[in-house]
Structure 1
């Protein structure tokens, strides 16, 4: 079938809106008519050639839509179902068998290589291969092929166009708090970096009953949003030393810290802000060769922990519906982070994400 898609053809260049061909779903594939897709920092990193995803490629990995057709082997969903498309996994490796799919042994090839397992792509244009299957979906398009492993059925009474960011950014931040760090009532948490991931973590901290919630960012507008969403304190590290300020607020240091920036110097500050037995989660890296330097005595003697976290250690089939339930209850207002754009405006949406003008852009396909 003919579909409309935004294609990354040249490193760092604007995406090109084109009409391309999409194959019919294979036996193990699901065809989804995409309603909307969130714009994520990972899409921009790949567009800029910082990861080995081949060009030309259709990116997009926070898709939500309606199932249009299913392959013969599909039993999880049927045509007409509303779904969110999240990260892909193999389903058979030791991590997947342990229900830890975010650490799938094939996470990188299944999500970043933009190819089916057999090396083919379901996308083309006039005989030219267009790489697809990015995060098992390539949802910067009007239609996407995905898989049972990365499709989550969602209720039909919630605005579908809003739900895409739950697939990655929102689930990453909220899951880091709820699943990985397991923040409990009465504890303290500082979030370093208050983009969509950090603010999702902050909202999750409110839900689980953390009583000291500190937002750290250099953008006053982001700190204002953090305050409105439940931060008890905000810190601008350009004005005060964040470690000293956190120690002043907490007395003996944090129970938990979360870094969303991937910057080694910020990660060090987050770890130095921990009290004895405190834990810091990191959700990204500034580059493949980035290194973290810590004071060994401080780190070891206090029993402190540093934890890498992928996709919030979420089991999407249960975690995403839970976040939707919290949203319905008014306890997880992630809709306050978003701004909508049309597919024709996708490059404006990307620019708004890059500049920080918008916390979470969402591109509507219709």
Structure 2
């Protein structure tokens, strides 16, 4: 099967829209005709070379579309099913069977290697291998070969919600919302401060509002994002560059400090600030990816006083459970993630990436004719 993909021939190279041949789906695979795919921070950091990938490669890991072919013996999905594509997981290791597929023991091989676990690739060009399987999908293309394990079936869409913008539910939105719902689990009335108001941070804000947190404080230097955060549930927003003493400002709002903080940036400075902003005891979740190796220095005294610093991947979520739940919350008018999205035609992928990187758009989504 032919597909047109955004091919990269090396780290830092531009996206090049080129034809490839998809291999036949294996026994645990499906072919998905893409309706839309989100552009995520992880994609452009990987494109820059922070994740070592064999070349040429195809990125994209927030896809949504319609199944057009299934592999032998596949019975959990059928041609015509609408799906959201998320991260891949084996579903049989101890972490997966315990309800934590984000920490699957085979996660590196299934999501970051550029090929199937058996070493074969899902795409080729003129007989040469093209490396895909990025998060089990590589959905920067008109079609993607995905695993049945990471394809979440959407039986019906609520009126007013279109398939092309559902992809971000599979990663960025899932990460922020899952961190609140699965890891922090705040009680109504508990306070939370969110550092960084991109897709992950704003999903955190919306989930905190669903949980009944108060106050909800958003911290970001970008005024556009702060305005969006105000509309999505923040009771307070702060510009860290214009706040003389951020610690003091947070203490004034929360009293003795926040019950929870979430770092979506991943820098040394922000992790320290997020930990320092906690009351005793309190929990800070760090989600931001800077690079595969990222040294962070913290004050042990902050931990000895009963605070917790925890890392979270993919919201510690099972996409099969959380994605439908988020769609249902959207139906109820309580999780308006669609307000983060701006659509771009596929051929404008460079514009979409630049808009996401510079923060002029919260969540660019590539759409296909």
Equivalent residue number for residue 146 of structure 1: 146
How many Å apart are 1:221 and its aligned residue?
A: 1.4
1:26-81, CA deviations, whole angstroms, 9 ceiling, x for partnerless residues? Answer: 12211111111000011111111111121211110000001111112212111111
Structure 1: how far apart are the matches of 2:292 and 2:69? 39
Stretches of structure 1 that go unaligned for 5 or more consecutive residues are: none
Structure 2: how far apart are the matches of 1:59 and 1:286? 18
User: Which of 358, 361, 366 matches 1:358?
Assistant: 361
User: Which of 261, 269, 274 matches 2:273?
Assistant: 269
Map 1:161-310; keep pairs closer than 5 Å.
Answer: 161-240=164-243, 241-301=245-305, 303-310=306-313
Structure 2: how far apart are the matches of 1:344 and 1:19? 13
1:124-170, CA deviations, whole angstroms, 9 ceiling, x for partnerless residues? Answer: 11112110111101100111111121010113334100100000000
- SS of match in other structure, 1:166: helix
Q: With structure 1 as the length reference, what TM-score do the two structures score?
A: 0.98
Aligned length: 365
1:197-238, CA deviations, whole angstroms, 9 ceiling, x for partnerless residues? Answer: 000000010011001000001111111111111100111111
How many Å apart are 1:294 and its aligned residue?
A: 1.9
How many Å apart are 1:86 and its aligned residue?
A: 0.3
Stretches of structure 2 that go unaligned for 5 or more consecutive residues are: none
How many Å apart are 1:245 and its aligned residue?
A: 0.7
- SS of match in other structure, 1:149: coil
Asked if 1:314 is matched to 2:317, the reply is: yes
Q: 2:173, 2:200 within 8 Å by CA — same for their partners in 1? A: yes
Structure 1: how far apart are the matches of 2:187 and 2:8? 42
- SS of match in other structure, 2:256: coil
Q: With structure 2 as the length reference, what TM-score do the two structures score?
A: 0.97
CA RMSD, 1 decimal: 1.1
Asked if 1:58 is matched to 2:58, the reply is: yes
Equivalent residue number for residue 103 of structure 2: 103
Deviates more, 1:189-198 or 1:67-76: 67-76
Q: 1:243, 1:270 within 8 Å by CA — same for their partners in 2? A: no
Structure 2: how far apart are the matches of 1:8 and 1:104? 28
